[in-house]
A = this chain, B = another copy of it.
Amino acid sequence: MRIDLNSDLGESFGRWELGDDRALLSVVTSANVACGFHAGDPSVLRRTTADAKERGVAVGAHVGYRDLAGFGRRFLDVPPADLTNEVVYQLGALAAFTRLADDRIRYVKPHGALYNTIVHHEQQAAAVVEAVRAFDPDLPVLGLPGSRFLALAEQAGLRTYREAFADRAYTPDGVLVSRREPGAVLHDPAAIAERCLRIAQGLPVEAVDGTEIVIEADSLCVHGDSPGAVDIARAVAERLRAAGVAIAPFTQEAPAARGNA
């Protein structure tokens, strides 16, 4: 039994630092690295990819809208053809730094508002899929189970992986409870760790209304940019290991990617 832990990294920008990347890299097995459009600058990309390589953490491209002021958290109605090109641009930029680190991009995970949008937005979902396929069809994608993004990626022949959120409540339908609702975000490290263990074991967890649901996931997303977040990530990792669940990148057995190295 095994699962992956992923987290957002490389979100600093120039003078502004965000998140405790070094601490997270000692906990997670996959790093979603910002590519410069919503966060991250070239020197941050350089350092983050080098540190991830050194710690054996798989690097994913955390592609987002071109919106530094909004940190990629605001929907932007980009025409699909432009969105494809913006994602390709980010993949190429990150690939240059994984190459310098003697590594390569292992997967793609959309960020923020783009992630949420392509759960249902057909055209933008297809645009992101097309970017990955055109850049490197051997590159897997990580996304929300049931999203249009994963469905279209599968249709396009991409390998798809599903993630669950360690610290978020779910509706009975397995959808995330909106952050605007009470109880949407969980805070107790022990409870979160226990919940993560059950997800990793394929056991049902409690939805926000008290019913039980099974959340299928190849990777658990833990956060690192808020106080206490690193503690939660550590608690999850320790609980999983204590229960005999191996923590390893979901991309580990994947066949060698073709071209972005």
Of A89-97, A152-160, A192-200, the stretch lying at the interface with chain B is A89-97
Docked-complex contact A42 and B85, CB < 8 angstroms: yes
Docked-complex contact B78 and A77, CB < 8 angstroms: no
Q: A36–B66 Cα gap in the complex (Å)?
A: 12
Docked-complex contact A134 and B14, CB < 8 angstroms: no
B-chain residues with CB within 8 Å of residue A176 when the two chains form the complex: none
Distance (whole angstroms) from the CB of A74 to the closest CB of chain B: 5
Docked-complex contact B15 and A99, CB < 8 angstroms: no
Q: List 26 A-B contacts (CB under 8 A).
A: A13-B16, A13-B68, A14-B68, A14-B70, A14-B71, A16-B16, A16-B17, A41-B69, A43-B82, A46-B85, A46-B88, A66-B69, A67-B76, A70-B76, A70-B78, A74-B76, A74-B77, A74-B78, A74-B79, A76-B76, A76-B77, A89-B93, A89-B96, A92-B93, A92-B94, A92-B95
What are the 4 tightest A-B residue pairs by CB atom distance, in nearest-first order?
A92-B96, A16-B16, A42-B85, A15-B71
